[in-house]
Structure 1
Amino acid sequence: MTAPLDASSKELEASPEAVLDGPAKAIQGRSLGQIAWMRLKRDRVAVVGGVVIVLLILIAIFAPLLVSWLGHPPAEWHREKIDPAIQAPIGSFGGMSWDFLFGVEPTTGRDLFSRVLYGARISLLIAFFATLLCVMLGTLLGMIAGFFGGWVDMIISRLMDIFLAFPLLVFALALAGVIPDKAFGLSGDTLRITLLVFIIGFFNWPYIGRIIRGQTLSLREREFVDASRSLGARSHTILFKEILPNLLAPILVYATLLIPTNILFEAALSFLGVGVRPPTPTWGGMLADAVHNYQVAPNYMIFPGLAIFITVLSFNLLGDGLRDAFDPKAR
């Protein structure tokens, strides 16, 4: 038999508080968002892409302020910077100097730095609103098709097939070409931007719609959906309070991957001359003008092209990082 412990031996026993060096704390669980944020912070490439995106957004917002400090108004001509004999910028590297950081445009002498900054406002504005419209339509119709199934799913799925087979670029060229300068109570740049947002967003929703439909088909068979049905929840309550929160991860990931696609599409339309009309600067429109002048002013093509490249690359890097962060099988 073991001898009973006396008071002195009890004092030698370490209490749990002494081991933990403080009061015991309950173990707290982590949500999917917290786990994804921890994974995303460890992905340095995705973090760099996110930082660049934030900088681009700030540049677009504060473009007038930056231009007032470092440049000249984007529509202001500086013919004294142009050689009248060859209609090319005077000086090396397209007229680059401390007053004109990116040089000047051939023929007009407009400040290329200011036009690139103002072009970011148009490109990002169209891309963000077009993506928002695309995500809203694709999410709503994809959820409805996947949740209800049957003839509802059949109609929406065939509608997706029609939109996916539609020659979008040809339709955009035709529609943008026939719309007059004033329509639907809008005019000028407002009309062109609204038209581009509608074309890009309305005809691209099936891509995200198919993804959301597939995810909804899987989620509608889960236990928490059955529990909501057993408690008497209606269909719209299950859709927006049970299924939609579980779709936020794929929606966010696909949206970040869709924004660069929309930026490129807007640049392509502006390049073809059916986007926002001059003298409003856009990256695609500047590239279209640079085709005829890049031999005498290569910076006229380099800087708008570099702006598109950096923007698209940053969104793609962030989208890949978000996809890995929300993947439950990722290490």
Structure 2
Amino acid sequence: MNAPLDAPESSASAAASPGPGREAASQGKSLGQIAWLRLKRDKVAMTGAVIVVMMCLVALFAPVIVKFLGHPPNEWHQEMIDPVLSTANEPWGGVSAEYLFGVEPVNGRDLFSRVVYGARVSMLIGFLATLVSVVIGTFFGIVAGYFGGWVDSLVSRAMDVFLAFPLLLFAMALVGVLPDAAFGLQGNALRIAILVFIIGFFNWPYIGRIIRGQTISLREREFVEAARSLGAGHLHILGKELLPNLVAPILVYSTLLIPTNILFESALSFLGVGVAPPTPTWGGMLSDAVRFYNAAPNFMLAPGIAIFVTVLAFNLFGDGLRDALDPRTH
């Protein structure tokens, strides 16, 4: 008679004391872990992330890559050029195992090396300009959204002015009259600093508007009211309560702002007001390739595809990151 009574008791004790596997499975996951699981399931976003990481590694280790797979980016190879046509002697622009993307017309510089080194300039300006925009936009956006009133009106009108500003014309005018040395910098270091300032400083309203709107929706939430009731000051609420809840939109919009800044830098270099030659940039290479697009299409395709792939990868990753961090999409 005891056996039937023991069986349920043993099963109840087993249910009350799950094994290691059940205990691990029943543990909750943090919001970051949940977002990472969602992002991993998005194959398109993960493909974009892999390409972004690869492009960053290419830019970071450009000298090592060129040492083993190419030639110095500013080294001329006149023996590769037809003196009559000013293009490569070999078909397909001189593409070979020694010159992976062929050579430039007229001077015979290695296209592969220049595209790899061009990634350093374009990615550097894109990341630094985005950092400037994010810092300024987050500061003014969270201040305007939290305090409201005349502070919000003043910041909002400033955003309208910056958004209406003819940025491209201003950049061309400023870089065109730039001295050879200023602020302790000279040459291309000065040009890169000016480009980062122009692109970053005048693009902050885009992320500022997003942060302002998110802050307005968060400032009346229960956790903010609880912090106020406990005597928390404005700085504590801004830095400890609101800012951590704004990390997701900041990250998402940053990934979408980087390719925009890369395109803007390429446009300035294409117009001749970016980084001065012979330093390679993708936009500068496209500008030089315009004259030879019929005779040497690889001269235009190499930097063009590099820009296209990089911008597309950032956009795909940004879209996937937005979906992963937004629970309303699931």
Fold agreement, TM-score > 0.5: yes
Which residue of structure 1 aligns with residue 55 of structure 2? 56
**Cα offset, 1:12, TM superposition:** 2.0
Aligned counterparts of 2:23 and 2:120: Cα–Cα separation in 1? 49
Amino acid at match of 2:159: M
Provide the rounded CA distance (Å) in 2 between the counterparts of 1:146 and 1:139. Answer: 10
In the alignment, what sits opposite 1:162?
161
AA of the residue aligned to 1:219: L
Where does residue 5 of structure 2 map in the other structure? Answer: 10
Partner Cα separation in structure 2 for residue 225 and residue 31 of structure 1 = 21
Structure 2 CA distance for aligned equivalents of residues 151 and 21 of structure 1:
59
Q: State the 1:29 CA deviation.
A: 3.0
Post-superposition CA distance 1:27-68 (Å, at most 9, x none): 433332222111101000000000000011111111111111
Deviations 1:160-188 (A, max 9, x none): 01000100001010011111111111011
Instruction: State TM-score, norm by structure 2.
Output: 0.96
Secondary structure at the residue paired with 1:221?
Answer: coil
Aligned pairs for 1:30-109 within 5 A: 30-109=29-108
Partner of 2:226: 227
How many positions carry a matched residue from both structures? 326
Question: Aligned partners of 1:60, 1:92: CA distance in 2, in Å?
Answer: 29
Q: CA deviation at 1:286?
A: 0.0
Assess, with a 3 A threshold, how the Cα gap between structure 1 residues 298 and 144 changes in structure 2: closer, same or farther.
same
1:22 matched to 2:13: no
Deviates more, 1:28-37 or 1:120-129: 28-37
**Aligned-partner residue type, residue 25 of structure 1:** E
Matches of residues 146-295 of structure 1 in structure 2 within 5 Å?
Answer: 146-295=145-294
Report the alpha carbon displacement of residue 21 of structure 1 after superposing the two structures with TM.
5.8
Query: Which whole-Å CA distance do the structure 2 matches of 1:106 and 1:195 have between them?
Result: 31
1:3 is matched with none
Distance between the aligned counterparts of 2:75 and 2:23, measured in 1? Answer: 65
Alignment RMSD, CA only?
1.3
Quote how far apart the aligned CAs of 1:327 are: 1.5
Per-residue displacement from partner, 1:12-31 (whole Å, max 9, x unpaired)?
Answer: 22334535762673843333
Cα distance between partner residues in 2 of 1:304 and 1:277:
17
Among all aligned residue pairs of Structure 1 and Structure 2, give the percentage whose two residues are the same amino acid. Answer: 66
- Post-superposition CA distance 1:250-271 (Å, at most 9, x none): 1111110111100100000000
Give the Å deviation of 1:9: 2.4
Q: Report the 3-state secondary structure (helix = DSSP H, G, I; strand = E; otherwise coil) of the residue aligned with 1:105.
A: coil
Superimposed CA distance per residue, residues 279-298 of structure 1 (whole angstroms, 9 cap, x where no aligned partner): 00000000000001122211
State the alpha-carbon separation in 1 of the partners of residues 35 and 61 from structure 2. Answer: 31
State how far apart, in whole Å, the 2-side matches of 1:286 and 1:34 are: 42
Which position in structure 1 is the counterpart of 2:140? 141
What secondary structure does 1:309 align onto? helix
Q: Distance in 2 between matches of 1:200 and 1:123?
A: 12
Could you say which structure has the higher helix fraction?
2
1:15 is aligned with what amino acid? S
> Which consecutive residues of structure 2, in runs of 5 or more, have no partner in the other structure?
none
CA distance in 2, matches of 1:234, 1:35: 32
The amino acid across from 1:12 in the alignment is A
Give the secondary structure class of the aligned counterpart of 2:105. coil
Provide the secondary structure at the position in 2 that maps to 1:89.
Answer: coil
User: What residue identity is the alignment partner of 1:305?
Assistant: G
Bigger mean CA offset, 141-150 vs 17-26:
17-26
The one-letter code sitting in structure 2 at the alignment partner of 1:149 is: G
Q: TM-score, normalised by structure 1?
A: 0.96
Gapped regions of structure 1 (runs ≥ 5): 1-5
Aligned AA (2:158): L
Q: Look up the equivalent residue of 2:14 and give its one-letter code.
A: A
Instruction: Give the Cα separation in 2 of the matches to 1:16 and 1:269.
Output: 72
Query: Separation in 1 of the partners of 2:137 and 2:253?
Result: 11
CA distance in 2, matches of 1:38, 1:98: 41
Q: Could you give the per-residue CA deviations for residues 198-220 of structure 1, whole angstroms, max 9, x where no partner exists?
A: 00000000011001001000100
Which letter maps to 1:220?
R
Alignment match, 2:130: 131
